[in-house]
Amino acid sequence: MVVERRRKNTNWHNLTLKEKYQQHWETKSFQPSDRSITLFGIGFVWVNTVSLVVEGFTLLLPHYFAPADGGEAGPGKSNTGLLLSKLATVYLFLGTVFQWWYLRDGRADKVTKSTSDGISRDDGLPQGWKFCSTCKLYVPPRSHHCTLCNACILKRDHHCFFSGSCVGFHNQRHFIIFLVYACVASSYGVFMQGAYLKSEEGLSYFIVLLAMWRTVTRQSWCLHLVLLLHFYLSTIIAVACVCFNSWQLKIIFNGQTSYEAVKGFTKYCKIKGDAGLNGKKKDWIYMNFVSACGTPLEFLFCLMVPFVKTQLQGYLAIRQVSKPIANYIKRSAKSSPFFKTWICMPPAQLYHWWEVNFRLRMMGLGRAKNVEKLSEKEAIELGGEMLGEFVVFSIAAVILILEYQRGARKEAAKEEKLEKELSSLKSKVQEMKTVTDIQTSQIKDLQRNFDFYKDLVKPNKGQERDLASDNSSYVKKIFGS
């Protein structure tokens, strides 16, 4: 825009080439644009993640689990270790990619016109609400305008350049899980890269200047230098993820966002006035974590199963799958007193007792002396859902165990077959060696006997001539002249 104004204010076509270059240099901005930074961040995440997977599958994992000189397998002891490592690599890659995508999809965090028009302004704005002069909307408390997203974000924490979106109320949990998977994947890559470089080049190769010198003098492969630089980059990424995740958890426990922590806002640092809270630190730490990431069980579920996008209701996917089973269990409990009394209701009552004591301890209230039991209807409802989810998890666990055992048996059978073939070859080689020794001994005996009789019977020259004439006459007699 500045260049266009300069061209309008001056007679651009009458300027010399030198003057044009001079004006262009004076008006040029060397500061990268926000879009360029965002594209660089997104490209950096994808290039680094994909390169780790490619390196692992093509170079690092096959080398780490390669057979040693003696014929035995490397650190994995069998191909099972290589298979499990490849599955772990795929799991980390998919977890990182899915959480990155859920983090990038921040449409639910944007304040829309329907949100602004849905509030009643008869008695003035509700407490904490304000008017955004840029969006021309009334926004809820803790919402802030992002110039990059060009929208007001609910409980805005910061703008993440690596995803190209803001971290807010709905995707803050995905941001934390994304950092966890990025940290674990980078640490895994650092371990495999370090093991490979140590095995191929030695510990001295980790000195960058020495590695560059050995590459320039063609003492080592140039790909190893690239792998060394990626090793240090992955190390920096892992450390950065740990530091940033620690910062995120700290401000979450304090009930703040990054914006509020930087600005020094402490209005929402503690939850006050809620029933059951006694003002102790455990109370508001737990509630602040739940408000951002859900309950610990929900957060743990999302951490272990990163492929399913769930809102703050943790077990949505599992409950949908287990709902038919839960309904069948509920019907069986209503029709069978034994099933209801001894199978369905006890787990529900036990879980209710544990949950009440757990929440009281998290709030610093100690252990409950008497926990009121659930009603029969509530116990059947909760017990049916618990047993349904347990059945689904059990089936999935049994399938995984059986698949692992099948793969282990297959690998064991393959190794047993190879061992039998190897032992058979060894026995054949031993037999051939024995036969060779016997034949060598017989040849030596024949050679000694031949030398002995040759020295014993040694005719003179006259006898040799008579013997030769007799032999010729004998041959003529047999075959004819």
Cβ-Cβ contacts under 8 Å for 406 (sequence gap 6 or more): none
What is the residue range of 3's domain?
Answer: 1-30
Q: What is the pLDDT of residue 89?
A: 92
Same domain, 21 and 48: no
Residue 404 lies in a domain: no
Same domain, 198 and 239: yes
- Annotated catalytic residue: which of 135, 146, 152, 160? 160
> How buried is residue 17: exposed, middle or buried, by Cβ count under 10 Å (0-12/13-18/19+)?
exposed
Residue 291 lies in a domain: yes
Q: How far apart are CA 294 and CA 334, in angstroms?
A: 33
Residue 4 lies in a domain: yes
Q: Would you call 132 a catalytic residue per the annotation?
A: no
> How buried is residue 143: exposed, middle or buried, by Cβ count under 10 Å (0-12/13-18/19+)?
buried
Same domain, 307 and 167: yes
Render each residue's pLDDT in the chain as its tens digit; 481 residues: 444 444 444 566 677 777 777 777 777 666 777 778 888 889 999 999 999 999 999 999 888 887 655 444 444 445 777 888 888 999 999 999 999 998 888 666 788 887 777 776 666 777 778 888 888 888 888 888 988 888 899 888 988 889 888 998 888 889 999 999 999 999 999 999 999 999 888 888 898 899 899 888 888 888 899 999 999 999 999 999 999 999 999 888 888 888 888 888 877 765 444 444 445 566 677 788 888 887 777 788 788 888 776 544 444 555 555 567 667 766 777 677 777 788 888 888 888 887 777 766 655 556 667 778 888 888 887 777 777 777 777 776 777 777 777 777 877 788 888 888 888 888 899 999 988 888 888 888 888 877 777 666 655 555 555 555 665 665 555 555 5
Residue 198 lies in a domain: yes
- Start-to-end CA distance of the chain, whole Å, equals 122
Same domain, 26 and 41: no
Coil vs helix vs strand at 158: strand
Last residue of a domain, one of 293, 312, 331: 312
DSSP secondary structure code for residue 375 in this structure: P
Last residue of a domain, one of 312, 343, 370: 312
Same domain, 15 and 161: no
Same domain, 279 and 307: yes
> For the chain, what is the domain count?
2
What burial letters (b/e) apply to 442-467, b meaning 16+ CB within 10 Å? eeeeeeeeeeeeeeeeeeeeeeeeee
Coil vs helix vs strand at 159: strand
Which residues face 132 on adjacent strands? 137
Q: How far apart are CA 151 and CA 144, in angstroms?
A: 8
Same domain, 1 and 46: no
Residue 460 lies in a domain: no
Last residue of a domain, one of 265, 293, 312: 312
Residue 184 lies in a domain: yes
Residue 348 lies in a domain: no
Residue 444 lies in a domain: no
Q: What is the pLDDT of residue 238?
A: 95
Same domain, 203 and 282: yes
Q: How far apart are CA 325 and CA 300, in angstroms?
A: 24
384 near 344, Cβ under 8 Å? yes
The full 3-state SS of 132-172, as one line of letters, equals: ECCCCEEECCCCEEECCCCEEECCCCEEECCCCEEECCCCH
User: Is 0.75 topped by the overall pTM?
Assistant: no
DSSP secondary structure code for residue 374 in this structure: P
236 near 100, Cβ under 8 Å? no
Same domain, 193 and 48: yes
Which residue from 253, 93, 294 is spatially nearest to 185, judged by alpha carbons?
93
> How buried is residue 118: exposed, middle or buried, by Cβ count under 10 Å (0-12/13-18/19+)?
exposed
Q: Hey, what are 28's tokens?
A: 């040029």
Same domain, 278 and 305: yes
Which residues face 138 on adjacent strands? 131
Coil vs helix vs strand at 362: helix
Same domain, 180 and 40: yes
